[in-house]
Amino acid sequence: MSSAYENPILPGFYPDPCILRVDDTFYLINSSFQFFPGLPIHKSKDLINWELVGNVINRPSQLSLQHATTKANNLERREIFAGGLYAPTMRFHNGTFYIVCTNLTGSESMAPETDFEPNTNFLITCTDLSDPAAYSDPMPFDFHGIDPDLFFDDDGKVYMTGSFIHGYRKKPQTVIRQAEIDLTTGKLVTEARDVWAGTGGNCPEGPHLYKKDGWYYLMIAEGGTHRRHKVTMARSKAATGPFEGYEKNPLITAAPGSPITCVGHADLVQDTAGNWWALMLGRRELGERGDSYPLGRETYMVPVDWPEGKFPIFEPVQLQHSLPVSRKSIVGAKQRTSGTEWPVELSSPHTIYVRDATLNNYSAEGAAILLRLTNTELGAMTGSPTFVGQRQTSLMSTASAEIDLAGSAAKNGHAGLAVYKDPFRYASVDVDLSAGQVSLALRHATQDHTISRSKRVVGAAAVKLKIESSVENYSFSYSTLVGERWSTEVELSTIPSSAMSGDDFTGTVFGIYAYGPEDTVKFDSFTIRVD
C-alpha cells in the first residue's frame, strides 16, 4: 500500500468520471464523445491502478454516432466542441449495472450559435461488464438534456436527475431537473420538474444524488467545463427537494496558480474502510507558457471527509497527495508504465475509431493491420475515415508505424500515422502512395489544410513513420527501406503541443489511417511507447 498517490489517476482523454463500488472492486466510466467503441469502463481494487474491462457501446448496432459532429464554437478562445456520448452515470442495483447517457447530435456544418441536440438519452443494462455481449441495446427515455443520473431510493423508487437544456445562448442555459423513472420501460413516471438552479454559475450540469444520515445530497457541476468549473452541493430531507445549497459552496474548484485547471464534474464513492473519495475531471496546463494540454480533461481524485449530518469536505486537488494512516491500507502503489511499449491490436478494448466505423475496412494479418482506403479524410465532419488508434495517455510518448509499400495493394491515395483530436486538429506523417512522397500533413482550427516539408521517396519497399511527443512539442520523422538497408531517420518538422490544446472536450489519439481509391494498405506494425 502507499503513503501517497499521483494525479491524474487515469491519464489521457477520460473526462466526466462516474464511479461506484461493488464489494471490494471499484468501477469507473467516462465520456467518449465521437469515438467508437464508446463509454469505457475500468476496474480497480485500490483506486490507483485501473484496468479497462470493456466499452458499453461496443456494437455498431447499439446506436449511431454518425451525427457526432464537431463545431468551432469560438476560435479566438480555441473552443472546439464535439458531439457524441456525454457524461454517463453508472449505478449497481440488485445484481445489475445500469448505465444512462446522452448521445448529442449535430449537423455537418454547425454555426457557433447552434446547439447540439440530445438525441437521445438512453439506458443500458449489464450483468457482466467484461462480456461485450452482456450490454443491452439502448432503451431511450424522454429528457431534453444531458448528464442523466440514477438514484435508487430505499422505498423502491428510482429517480432520474439531469441537466435540462434551455439553450446555451439563453439565460439560464440549463437547470437541474428530476423525474421518477420506470427502468423496465424507460418511461418517466412523473413529470420532470426543476429541483435546483445551482449557485449562479453557468450551465448547472453533471448531477448526482446521494442519501446519507437521513439527508438527500444533490451534487452538481457549474461554470462550464473549463476554467470556471466547480463542484457545488445542496441537500434536502426528500429526494425530490426542495434543496438548500451549502453556504460554503463550492466544494472544490481549481486552486489559483495550480497547473490543474477545469476541476469539476465529480462523483463520490466510499471504500471498504469507510473512507470517502471524490473523482472529478481536471486538465493539466503545462509548458513554459502553460498552454500545453493536448491530453484534454483527465480523471483526478481527492480524499473527502464527510462528517455525520454535515456536507462533505473536499481536499484541494494536487498532482501528488500524501495520505493519512487511515487511508494507506486502501490506496495502492502505482504500477509504473514508463518505458513500456505495446502493439496496437484491433481486438484490444483500448482501440478506437471515429464515429460509425466500417469495421470491414480493418483486418489483421498476423501482427500486421490492413486498412481499406475510402474517400473520407481525417478532416471530414461526418462519416468515418479509415482511422484506428488509441488514446495518448502520456505527454512523453512515441507512436511508430511501418507501411509495407511493396506488399500493399493500394498504389494511389494516402496513408500515414497521425495524432488526431478532431476534424479541426490533427497532424500526421503522410505517405502519398502514388507520388512516392512523405510529408507532414497539418490541420489546425485557425489554419487551412497545409503540407510542409515534403520529401520524395524513391524505390522504397517500406517506410517507418514516427511521432514523438513531449510537454512542449510533437516531432514527426520517417525512414525508408531501400534494398535491405534502412535509411537514417529524417525529421520532417515539429509542431507545438499547444496546437492540439484548447477549450474542448476530447484528447489526442495516436492512429494510423488511409484514404483514396478503394484498395488496401498494409501496416506491418503499429506501436505506442510511454517514455
Over the stretch 139-181, which tens digit does the pLDDT of each residue have? 999 999 999 999 999 999 999 999 998 887 788 889 999 999 9
Distances in Å between the alpha carbon of 184 and those of 124, 178, 179, 189, 304? 11, 18, 15, 11, 35
User: How much is the pLDDT for 456?
Assistant: 87
Neighbour count for residue 75 (Cβ, 10 Å)? 14
Neighbour count for residue 379 (Cβ, 10 Å)? 14
Q: Which of the four pLDDT bands, split at 50, 70 and 90, describes residue 323? A: confident
Over the stretch 372-404, which tens digit does the pLDDT of each residue have? 999 999 999 899 999 999 999 999 999 999 999
Q: In a 10 Å sphere around its CB, with 0-12 CB exposed, 13-18 middle and 19+ buried, how is residue 266 labelled?
A: buried
- Beta strands 520-530; 340-343: pairing state: antiparallel
Asked if residue 428 lies in contact with residue 466, where contact means CB atoms within 8 angstroms, the answer is no
What residues act catalytically? 16, 205
Q: What share of the chain is helix, strand, coil (3-state, %, to 5)?
A: 5, 50, 45
| Separation of alpha carbons 403 and 465, rounded Å | 8
- Please list, in sequence order, all residues whose beta carbon lies within 8 angstroms of the beta carbon of residue 304, skipping any fewer than 6 positions away: 268, 276, 277, 278, 312, 313, 314, 315
Please give the sequence-ordered ranges of beta strands (E in DSSP) within 423-507, or none if there are none: 425-432, 437-443, 450-456, 462-469, 473-482, 485-486, 490-496, 503-504
Q: Which of the four pLDDT bands, split at 50, 70 and 90, describes residue 1? A: low
Torsion angle of the four alpha carbons 449, 395, 530, 468, in this order, in degrees rounded to the nearest 10: 40
Neighbour count for residue 52 (Cβ, 10 Å)? 15
What the chain holds in terms of domains, given with CATH numbers, is: 4-328 (2.115.10.20), 340-530 (2.60.120.200)
Q: What are phi and psi of 178, to 5 degrees?
A: -145, 145
Q: In a 10 Å sphere around its CB, with 0-12 CB exposed, 13-18 middle and 19+ buried, how is residue 6 labelled?
A: middle
Over the stretch 22-67, which tens digit does the pLDDT of each residue have? 999 999 999 999 999 999 999 999 999 999 999 999 999 999 999 9
Distances in Å between the alpha carbon of 360 and those of 343, 353, 363, 386? 20, 12, 7, 10
| Separation of alpha carbons 473 and 214, rounded Å | 52
User: How much is the pLDDT for 458?
Assistant: 84
| Separation of alpha carbons 274 and 520, rounded Å | 55
Cis peptide, bond prior to residue 120, ω within 30 of zero: yes
Over the stretch 216-260, which tens digit does the pLDDT of each residue have? 999 999 999 898 999 999 999 999 999 999 999 999 999 999 999
Torsion angle of the four alpha carbons 314, 319, 325, 327, in this order, in degrees rounded to the nearest 10: 60
Residue 360: strand, helix, or coil: helix
Q: Which of the four pLDDT bands, split at 50, 70 and 90, describes residue 430? A: very high
Over the stretch 281-290, which tens digit does the pLDDT of each residue have? 999 999 999 9
Q: Which of the four pLDDT bands, split at 50, 70 and 90, describes residue 2? A: low
Distance from first CA to last CA of the chain, Å, rounded? 25
| Separation of alpha carbons 504 and 71, rounded Å | 10
| Separation of alpha carbons 354 and 57, rounded Å | 13
| Separation of alpha carbons 425 and 443, rounded Å | 5
Which residue is associated with the grid cell 438514484?
151
Among residues 425, 512, 358, 384, the alpha carbon closest in space to that of 84 is found at 384
b/e per residue, 342-372, with b = 16+ CB within 10 A?
Answer: eebeeeebbbbbbbbbeeebbeeeeeebbbb
Q: What's the order of all strands across the beta sheet hosting 139-141?
A: 84-93, 96-105, 117-126, 139-141
pLDDT at residue 445 greater than cutoff 80: no
